[in-house]
Every structure is written in C-alpha cells, then in structure tokens.
Structure 1
Amino acid sequence: MADRHQTVTIEKQWLQRVAVVVPLLSAFLYLSFIMLFGPCTMSLPGFKVTGDLDFRFTTYGGEPLLSGHFDFGHPRPDSMDFGKTMIDRMDYCPSEKEYNTGCIEEEHNQRIRVTYETTTLAECYHIVREGLRCPSQEVKDCFDMSGAHWYGGYESFSQPWPLEKAQLATSVYMSADVGIHGHSVGGVLERLFFSSKGVGIFVSQDSPLYVSLNPLGDHRLCLSAKYDDGRYRSVAGAPPTLNYTICHATNARTIFEYMSERFIPRPQEIPDTKLFTHPKWSTWAMFNKDITQQKVLDFAANITKFKLPAAQLEIDDMWSAKYGDLDFDLEKFPDPTGMVKQLNKMGFRVTLWTHPFMSLDSKAFLEAAENHYAVGTRGSQNPALVRWWNGKMAALLDVTNPAAVLWYLERLEALKNKYNISSFKFDAGEAMFVPETPETYSFMQNPGVYSKGWAELAHQSDPNRRRQEVRVAWNTQSLPIFTRVFDRWTAWESEEGGLQTVIPITLTLGLLGYPFVLPDMIGGNAYGDASFSQGAFPDKELFVRWLQACALLPALQFSVSPWIYDNEVIAITQKYVKLHESYAPTIINLAREAITTGRPIIRPLWWIDPQDEVALTISSQFLLGDDVMVAPVMVKGARRRDVYVTLGKWKDLLRDQVITGPTWLREYEVHLDELPVFERIV
C-alpha cells in the first residue's frame, strides 16, 4: 500500500509547486488544476481525472467508491487554448501551509481548499469551495450514485428506498409540507447522505445549500451553494461557500456509525415510557374537523368498551373557535373542564393539537402584531401573511424571538393549568411556511432554523414528562420527544403516500438520528369525507395490515376505530396491541441505548450484514434492534409473501421452526390475522 503521507509533485511548466499529501488528496488538487487549466488526463493511485472534469474515487485495491463531475462555473473547455487563457488568472494560495491541506485558486472565481484526515474508522476529506465573485454566484459539485445504494437525506411523500430511487429537482434544501408540495423534501431532513460502499457526505449547516437528486434519471446527487436574497441571504454581500466532508469507511453500517458520532447529536433522554407501551388515540381521521365534546366522550367510551387501552387521547383540529386562540370553542365544548375530568377518570391523559398559525380574526393575531411576535416581511412593520392547509391567510409565530416563544409557552401553560391538559401535538413548522423574504427577530442563516425553533418550543412545553410530538426536525436529535411521520394517505402504494411508505420513512428517520418515531395513524388519514359515508376510511384488509406493520414500531397511533368493522377486526386489534405491549420493554431499552450509541430503534435489514446485496434493498421488512426481524404483508390481497432472512439463526415465531440465513422463504403463507416475526438465536 502506498504511504498515505507521501508527497506528490505535479510538474507543468506553469506550475511551480503544490504540496499534497495522499493519493486521494493529490487527486482533488489535480482535479482543481484540470478545472483551471483545461483538458488533459492523469491517473493517480486511487483516482483518475479526465479532461472533461469527470473523476473517480477508488480504494487502494481499485474498487470504485464514488464518481462524478465537478462544476467550476465555466463551460467545459473545447481546446487547450481555452485552458491556457485561464492560467493567467490562477494562483496557488501561497499562504496555505497547513499540514495535510492543499489549496488552489482562480482569481475572481473560486478557491478550493482540501484537508485530509484519517482515523481508525474512516478517512475523510474536508472540502471548502469558496465563491469569489458575488453572492448570486453558484458553486456546485455533482456525484454519480451508480454502483451503490444510498440512504439518509430526508423524509418524502413516497419515500423510495434506497434513496437512489428518489427524484428531486434542484431546489432550496428545506422542509416542506408534502401534502401540499408532494415532490419536495418533507418535514424531517438532514444534510447527511451515505452509501452501501461506505461513502458518507455531510454538508455544513452554514452553506446556502441547494440539492438535486436524480432529476432526469441520471443517478446524480448535486450539491450547490448560492444566495438568492430570500431563503438564503448573504451577510455583508459575501459570496457563497460550499462546505462539506466526504468520508470513507468499510461499509454502510460503519460509515453510518462514524458519521453519526461525528455529526449527529445524541438524544438527551427518552420520551414518556407510556408512549412506547400503550397506543395514542387521535380524533383526526375519525372525525376530522367535525369534533365536539360529546363525540370525544363517546370515542373514549368505545375505546374502553372494546377493552382497548385508555392511554393518551388527542383532540385534533377545530377544538378552538379561532386558529391561534388557545382556548376551547364553548359552543362545541360547553364544559371542557368537566370533559377532561371525565376522561381522566376513565384513564385517559388529554392532549391538544396546536400549530404556529394565527387567523386574522383571532385575538392572538392582534396581540402578535402589536408586540412583533409574528414573522414579518422584509421592509414592512406588519406581520407577513402566509397561506397554510386550512386555506385562509394567517400570521406565523416568530420562533426566533424569545419574547414570542415565551408568550406562546405561557398561553400553553395556562391552558394546561385551566383544564388539566397533559401535553400537545405540535403540527406544521416546515420552513416552506416562512415567507420567501422574511423579517425575523434573529437572522435565519438557514431555513431549517425555523423548524428547529418550533421543535425546541415543543420540547419546552413539556420538558419533564415529554408526552408531546412534532412533525418537523432539523438538527434537533438531542430533543427527547417523538417525531411523527407526516400524514399518510389511506392507500397501499408508496406512490400514493400509503402503507408501503411507513417502513422506509421509519428507517430513514432513524438513520438521520431520530429514533423516537411515531408512525402516522393506523389506516392513514381517511381524507375525502369526514363522515365516512362515502368510504374514505380504509377497508378492513388495509386497516389490519397497517396495524400489523406498526405493531413492533416504537409507538402505535389509532384514529380510525376497529369497531367500525367487525368482531374479527376488534379481536385482531386487541391481539396486536398486546403484542406491542409485550415488546415495549425491548423498545424502551433500545430507546435508552440510543442516548449513548445514536443507533436507531428500528433498523434496516442490512444492519446485521452490511455486505449483503439483497438486504441493502429490502424496504418491506425491518429489525427491532438486532434480535427481532419483522416482515409484514404490504400488498393488497396477498396471503403469501417472500421473506428474506438475513445472516444468523432465527426462530420463526409463526411456524415454530429455526431458519439459518441468509436465505429466502418463498411464498411464505400469511393469513389476515398473522404477522411474520423472527427472533434471533444467539
């Protein structure tokens, strides 16, 4: 093996000298040279660069790791003459003399600085590409995702797994409501991507990041940085910087654990253990906005009538008269104090739905406008008016303003004290709801700052018992609260945001550092008809298969109720609620483990054997920790499925037999009331 600290000198008549360190670092510097000077071809140990600016990383043994194209902001040179004209504008950062660092610069265009480092687990290159022209300048690097499987990134509507199956047009890398913008990034995202070949990419939070992913079916992941004077504003007119780190380790699990340790905060605690043990009940899919005090009480009575756990009951949309006014609508809820007292007596904790919006006709809007508690528009003293899914224009709470956050929290606390409310469901919080040219109390360098502020506010509302939930996350892995999967549609197919997305989303959130995943409501949201008279609720089979898919996930959430079907569905529901309760101690132990290790509770099948090419692509099975494997039926009408048993000896709990993996169980029979579960024999 070549000495990693060998110094390589590239000699050309116009190149005086450049200090480089290992073959891969040499490649980066020579790549920069190519981009500045025009076409030529050079091969180095571990790297090859051609005149069209294509590159390839390889291991020392020659195995391909990552390839792509570096964009230097110029047309590709058609002749050596074009390249030579660039020479006169170029210099080699003479002040850069750090060990293991190389730098190259084209005057008035870009500067590239590369720093190499190595540890026992990985070797990394930290790349800083600085624009030198103007704020609107774009600096862009693209990577070919071919030849590997990719993970991480973001939540999405259809959540393809692995990530290379996804498509994302070039856009600001920020969270959005995928119910409104179906093909955008969802409410949970991080600037972390990694591959089955052990390559990890992490982009610094201070880069004004745009991302595209396979937009034309070209298998390219492109990262670019630019200021647009809207979502990203330059400070003092500075040009953009694309600041990222590429690391390489042995496989997907090794690079995940390395990148997680280095770039992802750990949870500080875990949520309330009752949320891992007993189901949460929501009024949303069952009643939508047509909710009243009597319907809530009847809902709770049916839960206990059918011998299902009385745990946490969440009153969703339209419990208040005006959006933003945090008090009950007394026409719909004539005695909220008595209602909550009765629910408590039945064994329920009561939580309420809340959000950062304030209707123009609400008291909250007037108070927020007077005290500058709402996000503004640049150049105006008035609150910005934003549109959200409830249609009307509204003001948006400024979560960067400590006084506004305190005002909101005090109102939540008053609500808790007045009615004995236990906690809250924090909806929305995506960066897309912030105006394109916002005026906020504190400067938001990154659109994700809004989502982070909303999640932190949610945590502050119930910091000790931790019974709340959020649906947005960005750099908030340390918060010990549940992150809810965005609303799922009542459908089977992933393209329709249905059941088949539940496992891939849960896996993705776990790999992004959010182990406390609250799957959306069993059966989906039943959108289309609040009364269910036209069959908007899931059919019996979809409800049962959805329940089974969620049974061994970190938490259960019901809204559509099993008693609207038949006695068989009620019995199946009771069965899987008890199954979840039986695994709750395991789930809670894994949650506590996440505090120290950062490992997800729900793990992909490749976790045990990251070299297994089949396991790397399985999207309909998962591991609970290392010792439980689950293979729910996810296809309409299916009573058989192929089950992939990964490395090790496993006991099939349905058939009471031992299976040695890796192997396929073809046409494995699964009746409607059955869930294939396998426990590893150690």
Structure 2
Amino acid sequence: MPDPLLFGAPQYNLWIETVFEPTQAKVLAYAERLLAEGFPPGVLMIDDRWSNDYGDWTFHPGRFPDPAGMVARLHRLGFKVMLWLVPYVTPDSPTARQLGDEGLLVRDTGPGADGRAKVASWWNGWSAGLDLLDPRARAWLTGRLEALRDDIGIDGFKFDGGDAPWWRALGCVDPEAYTHAWNRFGVDWPLNEFRDAWRAAGLPLAQRQQDKYHLWEGRFGLDSLIPNALAQALTGHAFTCPDMIGGGEFRFVPGEGGEGFDEELFVRYAQIAALFPMMQFSMAPWRVLSPGNLAVVRAAAHLHTELAPEILALAEHAAATGEPIQRPLEWAFPHRGYAAVTDQFMLGDTLMVAPVVAKGSDGREVLVPPGTWLADDGQTYEGPATVRIDAPLARLPYLRSIAAPKG
C-alpha cells in the first residue's frame, strides 16, 4: 500500500497558493500557518516550478536558497514532503542535450526525421519526453530522485503528466504504454500520487481524481466525487483521493460557472473528503472562509485523523485482498436495489457516509440498509428504511452499524 501518512492525515498541496511561483518562504509560511490554525500536520506537496527546468529536478537556487534546511524544518513540524514532477524535459536545456546525446528521449520517427528528440506541446508548454520504455532512462530518473531524497531529505513525489495524449503528441505508437510505465515507475516510492493511470488496478498508488472545478454539479463538480470514487473502487483502484478541496481548477476556468468563491461549496467539499480514504487541501481555508466555516472545515480535517486507524486498517486489507476501502452500498448489501445509490458510500462494511452534495440543502434523504444504525448525532435508525436527516452546514451525516438485521 502507499505510505500510511497519505491515509492517516490530510494532504496539503501548495498548487493553488503558489501556482507557478513556489518559494521556500511561501512553503514554510503555509506549513506554519496550517499548524497555527489548528490543522494537523500531514503530507506537504510542493508543486510546479520548484525546479530549474523540467527534467533538471534540482531546486531553483533563487526561490529555494536552502532546500535541505527547509525540508528539515518541515520534518520538525511533523510534515513529510513531496515534490511535483513530470516525465518531460525542457528542450533548450543542458539536461535535454545530455539526454538527447545518450538516446534517452523519445525520438522523432516521422517522415524525414533524423532521429533527434521529438518536441511536442503539453498543458504547460513544449517539451521533449523521457523514454520511459528504456530502462536506462528510468535508471537516470531514479538517480535524480534518490539524490533529492539523500541530499535534501525529500520523502516522495507527485508523478504528474502521464496522460496518454501527450505521449501521442510525441509520436509514441502505444501512448498508453508510457502512461503504464509512469505508473509502474512510481511503485518504488511509497509516498506517491498519480492523477492518471492505465491498467494500474492493484498497484500501491495514491490515485487522485481528475482536476475538478469550483462547481456543485456535472462531470467536474462536487457531486461527481462519490460516483468517481466508487468507480475507482470497483475497478481495483482502492487508494483513491478526491481532488483538492474546493476544486483544483477553480481559479482557472472563467465562463464555466466557477466565477467567484462559494464558502458553502468549500465546506461541503471538505466534509465529503473527510471520510474518503484520503483528503487533500490546497487553497488555504483561513484565507477564504469566515471564522465559523473555518471551524467546520478544521473539524472535518480532525475527523479524518480520528478515524485514521480504521481507514489504515481498511487500506491494509485492500492491499492484501483487492477489496475496496470505499464501497457502494450494493457491495455491502447486495441484491437490495442499492446499485444506483451514488451519493452515499460505505467505509468498510460498517460505516455509512451520506454527505450533502446539493447547494443550499440543510438536510437530505438517507437510505438506511438493514440493521440498527447509530448516527453521528446520537440518533438510532432501523433499516431498511429511507429517512430524512437534518444536515445544517456544520454537519456531515454518517451512521455506524451497531446491530445486524433482526432475524
């Protein structure tokens, strides 16, 4: 299974707070403010542009004058540290020239090509691609990452950018093979994250959902989180993480209904994530929330840590058996017509979570399976039944089975 800290505490990704300009000062300030605001320490991820160039994978000396000292400070604060990287190389860089000369980059095989490295566009510019099907290229990258571990103290990596379309743009005949190779490469690092995968069921990878917008509804909205997670679970990808709380794409999608910030959405997003196998923050809650809503989100983070032993036990079980951590009701209570229930889920077989997923709702209908169930507010319910549960913004409804069905 992936590193237990990915399950046992919230993850904190600096993407939204630093965008393409992370610095040592910003990283330390974010971590220290997290603790000052009462959030538990966990995994801290430094995202895009911490390095000199793509493929270089050494800290930018201007933005990070003492990376080893920074990581040591973060370790003392209780964090493990991950770095973002992609399998691409800035074309006009010493690294690209070295790797090109050694034949470790994807080559241009088109008409009239002379065997030089292919350069193509991905979401953040033009790059060459490391030939992940060549064991020499993988060994070269392993050396770079081990140096970051041994010299700086880095604990793990966010392996981004493995999307098949980018490999297709580089002319790869079997682009999915490169996505799969990227997934397999990450297996050697227990502290990992992937956003895209191919034939990766059963691998010990933390698999974050596709980037979401700051929206309530639709394929990229809050109400897609549970259906997406259940689909991952049923296809053997047990170690699932929702997107960053509030949506990792919220400030970059004008015209998609995401203009402006909705505190209610952020709070409900945090509550949904709280009882997923993993939860991940990026946008600083104290920067965007009222004191009252900040307290609710803080409570959601602590609920996750309180249930960490249970979540970890389920993760260990998933690693041993392939059974999901997060389960549809139909999994735990088959043949009762629950297959279409996609706004509730089971955490294991005894804890049922029924978050609010609709804007402006102060309650919801909850399908209660057979047996006796104790709710988070102390009320008991006998199932099977459908009940109306009050859920003001401060409440995340969840119920625990305390007795099997009678008879």
TM-score of the two chains, using structure 1 as the length reference: 0.56
Matched, 1:591 2:315: yes
Give 5+ residue unaligned stretches, structure 1: 1-269
Do the aligned residues in 2 keep the contact of 1:384 with 1:435 (CA within 8 Å)?
A: no
Matched, 1:327 2:48: no
Tell me the distance in 2 between the aligned counterparts of 1:529 and 1:512: 31
What is residue 406 of structure 1 aligned with on the other side? 139
Tell me the distance in 2 between the aligned counterparts of 1:491 and 1:276: 26
What is residue 418 of structure 1 aligned with on the other side? 151
Tell me the distance in 1 between the aligned counterparts of 2:355 and 2:93: 46
Q: Deviations over 1:395-426 (max 9, x none)?
A: 11111100000001111111222211111100
Amino acid at match of 1:674: R
Provide closer, same or farther for how the CA distance between residues 287 and 366 of structure 1 changes in structure 2, counting only shifts above 3 A: same
Matched, 1:429 2:162: yes
Amino acid at match of 2:187: H
1:529 Cα deviation (Å)?
Answer: 5.9
Tell me the distance in 2 between the aligned counterparts of 1:358 and 1:280: 27
1:386 Cα deviation (Å)?
Answer: 1.9
Provide closer, same or farther for how the CA distance between residues 399 and 522 of structure 1 changes in structure 2, counting only shifts above 3 A: same
Identity of aligned residues (%): 37
What is residue 101 of structure 2 aligned with on the other side? 370
- Candidates 629, 632, 654, aligned match of 2:352: 629
SS of match in other structure, 2:314: helix
What is residue 385 of structure 1 aligned with on the other side? 119
Larger Rg: 1
Do the aligned residues in 2 keep the contact of 1:373 with 1:401 (CA within 8 Å)?
A: yes
1:283 Cα deviation (Å)?
Answer: 0.5
Q: Matches of residues 156-555 of structure 1 in structure 2 within 5 Å? A: 270-379=1-110, 380=113, 381-390=115-124, 392-435=125-168, 438=171, 447-460=175-188, 462=189, 466-495=190-219, 497-528=220-251, 538-555=261-278
Q: Deviations over 1:569-620 (max 9, x none)?
A: 232123122211222111111112223332110001211333223x211121
SS of match in other structure, 2:251: coil
Tell me the distance in 2 between the aligned counterparts of 1:502 and 1:404: 36
SS of match in other structure, 1:376: coil
Tell me the distance in 2 between the aligned counterparts of 1:437 and 1:536: 34
1:385 Cα deviation (Å)?
Answer: 1.6
1:471 Cα deviation (Å)?
Answer: 1.8
Q: Deviations over 1:614-667 (max 9, x none)?
A: x2111211110110111101111111212111233222222x23222222113x
SS of match in other structure, 2:339: helix
Q: Matches of residues 99-138 of structure 1 in structure 2 within 5 Å? A: none
What is residue 227 of structure 1 aligned with on the other side? none
Tell me the distance in 1 between the aligned counterparts of 2:368 and 2:45: 38
Tell me the distance in 2 between the aligned counterparts of 1:638 and 1:587: 28
Do the aligned residues in 2 keep the contact of 1:386 with 1:435 (CA within 8 Å)?
A: no
Amino acid at match of 1:418: D
Give 5+ residue unaligned stretches, structure 2: none
Q: Deviations over 1:326-361 (max 9, x none)?
A: 011122222222222222222222211001111112
Do the aligned residues in 2 keep the contact of 1:563 with 1:569 (CA within 8 Å)?
A: no
SS of match in other structure, 2:270: helix
SS of match in other structure, 1:645: strand
The higher-RCO structure (CA 8 Å, 6+ apart) is: 2
Provide closer, same or farther for how the CA distance between residues 316 and 437 of structure 1 changes in structure 2, counting only shifts above 3 A: closer
1:537 Cα deviation (Å)?
Answer: 7.0
Tell me the distance in 2 between the aligned counterparts of 1:435 and 1:567: 48
What is residue 563 of structure 1 aligned with on the other side? 286
What is residue 679 of structure 1 aligned with on the other side? 400
Do the aligned residues in 2 keep the contact of 1:526 with 1:537 (CA within 8 Å)?
A: no
Q: Which segment is superposed worse, 358-367 or 277-286?
A: 358-367
Amino acid at match of 1:657: Q
Provide closer, same or farther for how the CA distance between residues 378 and 437 of structure 1 changes in structure 2, counting only shifts above 3 A: farther
Equivalenced residues, count: 395
Provide closer, same or farther for how the CA distance between residues 596 and 387 of structure 1 changes in structure 2, counting only shifts above 3 A: same
More helix per residue: 2
Provide closer, same or farther for how the CA distance between residues 606 and 483 of structure 1 changes in structure 2, counting only shifts above 3 A: same
What is residue 653 of structure 1 aligned with on the other side? 376
Amino acid at match of 1:409: T
Do the aligned residues in 1 keep the contact of 2:106 with 2:170 (CA within 8 Å)?
A: no
SS of match in other structure, 1:665: strand
Tell me the distance in 2 between the aligned counterparts of 1:364 and 1:459: 25
Tell me the distance in 2 between the aligned counterparts of 1:338 and 1:277: 25
Do the aligned residues in 2 keep the contact of 1:608 with 1:646 (CA within 8 Å)?
A: no
SS of match in other structure, 2:187: helix
Amino acid at match of 2:305: E
Tell me the distance in 2 between the aligned counterparts of 1:529 and 1:302: 25
SS of match in other structure, 1:434: helix
Tell me the distance in 1 between the aligned counterparts of 2:31 and 2:68: 16
Do the aligned residues in 2 keep the contact of 1:377 with 1:435 (CA within 8 Å)?
A: no
Amino acid at match of 2:211: D
Tell me the distance in 1 between the aligned counterparts of 2:169 and 2:197: 20
1:323 Cα deviation (Å)?
Answer: 1.8
Provide closer, same or farther for how the CA distance between residues 310 and 536 of structure 1 changes in structure 2, counting only shifts above 3 A: farther
Amino acid at match of 1:383: A
1:502 Cα deviation (Å)?
Answer: 0.9
Tell me the distance in 2 between the aligned counterparts of 1:415 and 1:478: 28
Tell me the distance in 2 between the aligned counterparts of 1:520 and 1:635: 18
What is residue 17 of structure 1 aligned with on the other side? none
What is residue 387 of structure 2 aligned with on the other side? 665
Tell me the distance in 2 between the aligned counterparts of 1:277 and 1:518: 12
Amino acid at match of 1:661: G
Do the aligned residues in 1 keep the contact of 2:86 with 2:161 (CA within 8 Å)?
A: yes
Tell me the distance in 2 between the aligned counterparts of 1:602 and 1:646: 16
What is residue 159 of structure 1 aligned with on the other side? none
Provide closer, same or farther for how the CA distance between residues 377 and 662 of structure 1 changes in structure 2, counting only shifts above 3 A: farther
Tell me the distance in 1 between the aligned counterparts of 2:196 and 2:169: 19
More strand per residue: 1
